[in-house]
Amino acid sequence: MRYLASLVILLVSAGWCGAAYIYEHKGLVEYRKTDKDAWERVPAGGRFTITAGMQMRTARASMAEIHMDDGSRVKVAPLSNFTLSAEDKEKSVFGLASGRMRSWVKKFSRRFEVRTPSAVCAVRGTDYTTGVDGEGNTTVEVSEGSVLVGDAAGRTALVREGETTRVEMGGGVQQPVVNPDPPSGDDASLSGARELARREIYTEISKDAVVAQAQAEMQSAEYQNRKTAVDAFGRRVRMEEYTIRPAGNQFKYVALNTRGERFDFGKILFTFNTALPADLSAVTANMITSAGPTAPSVWLTGMNSVMSNTTDKVTEDALNGAMSYNGSLTNPAYNLVFGTYKFYAAGPAEAGDNGGLGKELWAKTNYNVAKNTHGSITYLGGSAPTGGPQSFPSGSDTFHTYVKNTYSDGTWIAAEDFVLFDDGKKLSAGDFGGGLAGGETVDRMTDRLNFERVYISSLFGGRTIDLLYSAKLLKDIGMIRFE
């Protein structure tokens, strides 16, 4: 009997000697017996007994689950550092220096405490999580039961199930409140669903931002290529401009416009005396005037332009082009002269006139494009049209003009011109900074802007032709002038 009693006492004593052990661990978990010892890795596999005074730490992505003989257990989160301060039949005391640990304490068992740099959490029978941040502040979250939390000054608060409190390093226990972000499941490695969700939301928003950035970049390129602009009336115009080469001695410029449901287009076919090089800019730069005493080898022999709203159209047709010497010894040059240059307009009723060109409104012979002079001119109805001189509806310093010609048979056509920035702002003298005398010329300025022409005619049944396009090419070939 005495032997049996001795055996029981021995077993119980032996049990309390090694009552806490690492039941499971993952990643890198290290221990040391005193501050002076080096950290050693907890060996893999099997139970690892923890004795009082032993320090332990978990690395990132590492955890340890500690069991005690009374059935209580503790789960230590990554990046935690603690000491098993006491472990005997009276009590279990953990000293949590940093990190988080979740404790499941058996009811009616020994005293169980988690001490931190700023707080003491004492319980009997509960499930709670203790966290310590880098400044020593403590957070206690109770999942089941209740925990008495106290600071060094003896101030205490009872934290009930579902509540949380915080103890500042300098002391002071906050009034417990409902925990807005309780620990997720029984895993202490994550602080809560809210933190997890917030991290994923930011990831999701950043993925959206990557796509949005790519789309914004592409839209910017569309703008920089001037494929969208705003017209003189504040409407967005989508512009597409193309150059195609129907034959070796030709190229065609095509401009397409849409505004809402409206569609307008313009096209100009240039025909030269000979085959053109791959780089068209080599010939377009000297199409109208070729400086120097030597006649150019490539010149324009014909030009046909059409502007249309798909129902009505205005056509300019020039033939028999040749380069003519200007006769100057000091500034010798060759200028483009068309043998004939005719202007037509057509609504649906005139669409078949003159081989599909429309109703002829005027025709010039020997039209010198550079000098804007001609030999003879004939008009629809035989006499020159009536109409006021060119007017400036937006003021004399703004590039917005209007002119209307009425022919003797009653046919009339009006043209309204604008020179615009891409945002629809009309060019005015004020845009030249120091004024035209400041070195900037109208000619140079208009190279960089858009040109909008609006035609309205008695032939169009109230409709307009309204086309926005880059000004430079048409100015180069003399179709629009700024004089």
Partner 1 sequence: MRKTPILAALIAVCAAAPLAAEMKITPVASFNLLGGKYFLDSDAASFEGRADAYFSPAITLGEGHDLIPVYSGNYSGTQDVQELAGGGVLTRQRQSHSLSLKYIHTRDFDRYKPRVSYSKALVRETKDESWGDGLFNYDTFSFGFEAERERPHGTFTGSYDFFSVTYGNYATLLSNSQSVFKDTDTFNQLSTNAGKNPLDNVGHRLAFSYAWFPEPLAMKASYDVTWRHYGDQAVAANPAVGQSPFRSDKRSDYIQNLSFSASRGLRPVYLSAAARLGWLSSNQGSYDSTRQKYMDDYYSYMDISLTPALTLALRNGSQFRFGLEWRKVFYLGRLAQAVNGAYGGSEIDQTYWLTSISARYPIFNRFYARGAFNYQLSDSNMRYEDNYRYNYKASTYLAGVEWEF
Distance between CA atoms of 479 and 473, rounded to whole angstroms?
A: 9
Closest approach of partner 1 to the CB of residue 351, in Å: 9
Reported in sequence order, the residue ranges of 347-385 that DSSP labels E, i.e. its strands, are 359-368, 377-379
State which amino acid sits at residue 126.
T
SS3 of 462-477: the string is CCEEEEEEEHHHHHHC
Cβ closer to partner 1: 254 or 298?
254
Cβ closer to partner 1: 184 or 428?
184
Closest approach of partner 1 to the CB of residue 192, in Å: 7
Cβ closer to partner 1: 414 or 480?
480
Helix (H) / strand (E) element for 12: namely: helix 2-17
Rg (CA), the chain: 45
Residue 71 tokens read as: 């059935």
Cβ closer to partner 1: 152 or 247?
247
Distance between CA atoms of 345 and 71, rounded to whole angstroms?
A: 100
Cβ closer to partner 1: 249 or 365?
249
Cβ closer to partner 1: 53 or 170?
170
Closest approach of partner 1 to the CB of residue 281, in Å: 4
Helix (H) / strand (E) element for 335: namely: strand 333-346
Closest approach of partner 1 to the CB of residue 445, in Å: 8
Check if the beta carbon of residue 266 is closer than 8 Å to that of residue 305: yes
Cβ closer to partner 1: 321 or 424?
424
Check if the beta carbon of residue 406 is closer than 8 Å to that of residue 384: no
Contacts of 56 (CB under 8 A, 6+ apart): 29, 30, 31, 42, 50, 64, 76, 81, 82, 83, 84
Cβ closer to partner 1: 293 or 356?
356
Closest approach of partner 1 to the CB of residue 402, in Å: 23
Closest approach of partner 1 to the CB of residue 229, in Å: 8
Distance between CA atoms of 232 and 181, rounded to whole angstroms?
A: 58
Cβ closer to partner 1: 90 or 195?
195
Closest approach of partner 1 to the CB of residue 226, in Å: 7
**β 120-123/111-115 pair status:** antiparallel
Cβ closer to partner 1: 89 or 481?
481
Closest approach of partner 1 to the CB of residue 419, in Å: 11
Distance between CA atoms of 11 and 248, rounded to whole angstroms?
A: 107
Check if the beta carbon of residue 405 is closer than 8 Å to that of residue 413: yes
Closest approach of partner 1 to the CB of residue 225, in Å: 6
Distances, alpha carbon 250 to alpha carbons 162, 245, 269, 301, in Å: 83, 6, 7, 10
Closest approach of partner 1 to the CB of residue 215, in Å: 6
Residue with tokens 């906050």: 174
Torsion of CA 457, 458, 464, 469, to 10 degrees: -20
Cβ closer to partner 1: 273 or 366?
273
Residue with tokens 């939390």: 149
Closest approach of partner 1 to the CB of residue 254, in Å: 6
Residues facing residue 471 across a β-bridge: none
Cβ closer to partner 1: 112 or 265?
265
CB atoms within 10 A of CB 209: 11
Measuring CA to CA, which residue among 372, 332, 375 is closest to residue 482? 372
State which amino acid sits at residue 117.
P
Closest approach of partner 1 to the CB of residue 421, in Å: 6
